[in-house]
Every structure is written in structure tokens, then in C-alpha cells.
Structure 1
Amino acid sequence: MKIVIAPDSFKECLTAARVAQAIETGFKQILPDAEYIKVPVADGGEGTLQSLVDATGGRLIDVAVTGPMEETVQACFGLLGNGETAVIEMAGASGIERVPADQRNPMISTTRGTGELILSALDQGIKRMIVAIGGSATNDGGAGMMQALGVKLLDADGQELPRGGAALSHLYRIDTGKMDKRLQTIEFIAACDVGNPLTGANGASAVFGPQKGATPEMVEQLDLALRHYASLLQRDLGKDVGQQPGAGAAGGMGAALLAFLDAELKPGIDIVMDAVGLAEKVIGADLVITGEGRIDGQTAQGKTLLGVARIARQFNLPVIALAGSVGSDVEAVYECGIAALFPIVHDAVPLSEALAKGEENLIRAARNLASTLLLLR
């Protein structure tokens, strides 16, 4: 048998690579002679960087960068196994988890650190960059990122704008003359799983601002600032991105990637599946095993399992999923191509215990699944 193991991480418990290893360990206790292909995957959100690095034999590179509130933080980017592709999770440098809840303020938080990660990745001589956007503490339209990359965002006096989304209301001119020339040679792909425009009732400020500490008054001010920003992007760069789907992702980071870097916005799950080459790896397989920390109705709306099942379906392969926990509204998952679903925890235990025994339970569940398959064969 050839068995492809393509799980997501079990959040707060195991990385996708460790999940794949645990499943293989359990299966090998019953089917030691099978061929196992491990492909850690993700949906473009948290864990995407690690999954792509693990799946391609790449490496993580640590960098000291500017955090959301201008503090120095340690972040990292990934260099994939081909040596030509870098992966950045903006949340690593500019994420909301970097800022204590009582200090969050999208009026002044900055994406500069994400730009600094990009600069460091450029030093590796890459040709392609995948930027996972989401989980940000910012609402600056990617302004800080672009300033780090050499763009001048000037006020009426010719002075550089200070950090934060509110400062964009004073933007008078955009000067890209000093933007790092290497950016012109890079293919940018942004993992973007939301279709929000930059401004308006469904825009970055209104929808995501409150999650980042914005009051109703702040939301109004930030939205006006981003409207002004969009007008100058169109005037100075000739890029009309304000109402483009995805432009409002990550506090407007989508708009900057579109306008300055000509990025292609794609669903994160599609980017990951392409990058790890899952379609090629399932050719000739007998079975695909996947898994995730929690599987419920939302899983069918673009999560990892959906992408794995979609590819397996192209080759008429059965997909079995293992889950840390299962929601009551899980029926939709079966309609997406998951043939069977098994929780790995069978007793009512505290979450802390379930997390502590996650690897042990996963190995046991995989062994039992392999035993069942052997009996059926």
C-alpha cells in the first residue's frame, strides 16, 4: 500500500509535521511494509510557514524586526527547500498576539516589521515570495511595510508620515523612487482568505478594527484615512484597489501588496497545496489520511481538510480524517469528500489533559484505524 499522510497542525498541541509522524508511527505498528508519504499542510493561516518549511525540507531564518508598537521582536521567515521561495507570516512580526489586550491601538500600530522580514528574505536571492496575511494588530494599509521597503509616504511638508493607520489621513504624496529594486524581480503571492474591500461597511476598519482595539470613533477615523490612502494609490500609482476583494485583509495589507507589489491574492489553502505538490504526491496512492485539531461545520468552508479532499477526489482516492475534537455540525465535512472521521479522544477529559496526551492518543487512533483497514482487506 501507498498511504499519503497530509494533516494540518493540532493547534496548541502538535505541529503538522509531528501529527504526520504520529499517524505514521501508529500505522506502522500494523502495516510496517506500507509506503508512507508525509505531507504536512495548512490552510494559509497560523502554521502555514512551518508546514511549508517542513514539507519542502526548508529552513527557518530568525530576524530581529520592529513589532506592531515599534518594539523590537524576534520573528522568522522560511526559505523553502528549492532555495528560490520565501514564506512570511505577517503575524510573526505584526500580529495581534504581539500586543497585550490593554495596549492594542490600530491608530498607531505598524506593519514595518513585515517589511523588514521581506528585506531579509530578499538577501537570500529568492525569486518568489508567499506572504500569509492575517492575524494582524494593524490597520495601516501596509504603509509601514512599504516604508521599510523604501517607499516614501510624505505629508504636505515633505515629511515622512509617522507610524499607524491614523497618519494616513495626512498623506500628500507617494514616492516609490527609492523602493528596493529587487522587488521588481520577485513574484509575490498573498495567502488571503477574506474578500473584504479596503473601506466601507465591510472594509478593514469596520470589520476588523474593533478586534484590534478600535472604538467606534477610531473605526470612523481609520476608515476615512484608508479612503484617502486609496485615492492617492490611484492618483500616484495608477492602482485602483480600494474596492478590490481582499484589499482590506489584515488591516489593508492586501491593498499594499496589490498596489505596490502586484501580488496575486489567492486562497491560502490553494497556495499551500500547490507549494507542497500534494497532487503529484497522491498519484498511485491507495489512501489519504488527514487530520486537524478540531473538525466541525467550519472545516467545510476552506480549511485544510477541504483542500486535501478536493485533490484526492481528482484521483478517486478515499480520505480518512483524524481529529482532536469533533463538532456537532460536522455533517458538511462528509459532503466535501471525507469518507470517514474519527476523534482521537474517547473520554471526557479536561482540555489540558487532551493536549498533553495528544501525540499518544493520535498514535493509538492511527493504530486502531490501520487495524480496521487490515481486517477489511
Structure 2
Amino acid sequence: MPGKALVLVENLSVPFDRRVWQECTTLRDAGWQVHVICPQGTRRDTEPEAEIDGVRIHRYPLRAATGGPAGYLREYGTALWHTARLARRIGPVDVVHACNPPDLLFLVALLAKRRGARFVFDQHDLVPELYLSRFDRGKDLLYRAVCALERLTYRAADVVIATNESYREVALRRGGKRPEDVFVVRSAPAVDRFRRVPAEPALKRGRPHLLCYLGVMGPQDGVDYALRALAALRDDLGRTDWHAVFVGAGDTFDAMVELSRRLGLADRVEFTGRIPDVDLVRYLSTADVCLSPDPHNPLNDVSTMNKVLEYMAMGRPIVSFDLREARVSAGDAAVYAPANDEREFAKLVARLLDDPEERDRMGRVGLHRINGPLSWANSQRALLAAYAAAVR
């Protein structure tokens, strides 16, 4: 029988974290009483307490990390303290559902388990691979520490939710979990959020084509690869018939604006920061080609990129580097450049700009996949099955 679930999130506010919000509303619709603990946002989700569509949200102030690993230790320590404090206030629950990163939230779950709760570990990221991809420090002491925390999280979890089959394999192999205790709940865009509107030629700034990037801008997200590919598109391939817009924010945002300037792209590359959904849909509806420049590294190769799914939901063709899970998600809705080869990435952009029929075909493929095998309805069934297993 449904009971009381406590969802723990550290790296985004809710409902801004779309995956977590979809999970919360799915559980609510299944009869669960849902509480969420998460950080406050800076421009949205700023209230300390809110009840939205029947989901009770408890937020705490959190300063984003700066200054490398030491900054993350400060951020995570603060978040853990606030999360434990708010969990005590909420009281006993039937399920603690912790979404990483970081792999520290199991400590709050262990306290709840002493009172009879079950622990669902929702693994959004492979933190050891994230550490290797984000910090150029190799397998040092901190790397060994994050590996140990992942092992402890797996050990504490009654059920693991993986975002794709690659992550599920890690939970079985590295986490030692039983197959019947690991469920794949794929991320999927909310299709009611991504509905095309008429294209606006003015967004192309007087040029024939619009290129679009949507997503976080962190060290592992490849915005620098995209900018260098666009410089190659202009300089090596002689293409000046495009304008590009980069939608999103992150801790390398300022550095990427500066890189664009150094590459001489400031007159044709626009950085919007985070924007309302209505404006995001305008850009994606107008875009001719969407960019997924995440470079090949231990994390990206096995991770599902939300931007790819969102491009597909808008029926947009995609240029991506050749990553294992990118192919699983996009299939023929994308074309794939050899890993981290910026010039080949640029060539594929040029090829699609010259082939509107191929762009339309790829867009239809993406829409079919999002509305079929990759739909949130399939993920909802898997999520509820995971909860049923946790409380059995």
C-alpha cells in the first residue's frame, strides 16, 4: 500500500529538476504522500517551504561550489546537515528516495531505516566517473573516497533506480546488487512542456540557419568543443550562413562566453543563460540543427543526456559525438562524429544544413522514439515497480 515517501535532492531545486518532479507527481498519482528536501533556487524555487500540486517541498539555502574539490566538500557538508535537519522535522517515512550526486545522502537514509523506512537509491550520476571527468587529478585519495561512498550507498540501498542499462550494469557489477533489486527508470521529457510553435526567423539574426545548444555548462558538458567546432565550421569549411544560440548556465558559463570571444564568434554566438520555457520552445522550434557536444569520457559514454531527449521531443535533428548511450537514446535521430573530433562535428553540422529533407526525417524519428519506447509512461511503470519491490 502507498505510504509516505521522502525524496532527497542536492544538485538542483524542485520542481526545476524535471526528472525528480516527474517522479514525485507519478508517486503522488499512485497514492503516495510525497515530501521533497532540496536546495533553494536562485531565481526560482526560492521559498523555504512550498506545496505544489500536492507535493510538499522543503528547501534550504546552499551556495554552489567554487574552487575545485574543496568547494564541493563544503557544499556537500552544508547540504547534508540541512537535509538531516529537515528530515528530522518531517518525521517517520516509509521510503527514503535519495537522488545523487553526492553519494552522501545514504547517511540520512540510514537514520530513517532505523525507524523502519526502506531506502531507494536513484543513481543520476556515476560519481567516480564524474570525478575523473571533472577534475584532472587521476585516481587519487579523493577518487578512492568517492568510490567508497558509492559502495556504502549501494550497500545501504534496498532498491536501486538506474537511468539506463549502462548504469544498471554498474549497479550489478560494481554495486553487487541483485538483478531483481535494480530498475531502469529512464529520463524522458515532459511532452506537454515541449510542443513546437511556429518558427521565428528573427531568432536567426538575419542568417539562413539557427544552431541550438540546450543544457548545463560545466567542465564535462562540451560547450568548449561545440565552440571550437563552430569556429571550424566558419574557418575550415567557409560556412557563415548560421547563427548559434546556447541556452543554459553552469559554472563554466563565463569561461565559455570568453572562449567565444577569443575564437571571434561573438557576432554569431548568443548565450541566453537560463530562460523561461516559453522562450526555450521558441528557440528549439526555430532551430535547424541541435548540438550535443558532450565529449567522450568515462562518464559521458554511459550517461543519458537530457538535452538529446529534449531535442527529440521537439523533432530536431542532432549532431553528437559517438557515445554509447547517445546512440541508445537518439538512434537515427542523430548523426555521430568520432569521439571528440571537432572538425568532423563541424562537417556533420554543415551536411545537415545542406539537407533539409534529412533533417525532417531525423526529426520524425526522434518524435517517434520519444512518444514510443522512450516515453515517460514506460518509466512510470518501472518507478512504481521499484517502489513495490522496496516495500514488499
TM-score range, shorter chain: 0.3 to 0.5
Point out which structure has higher relative CO (alpha carbons under 8 A, 6+ apart): 1
Could you say which structure has the larger radius of gyration? 1
TM-score, length-scaled by structure 2: 0.33
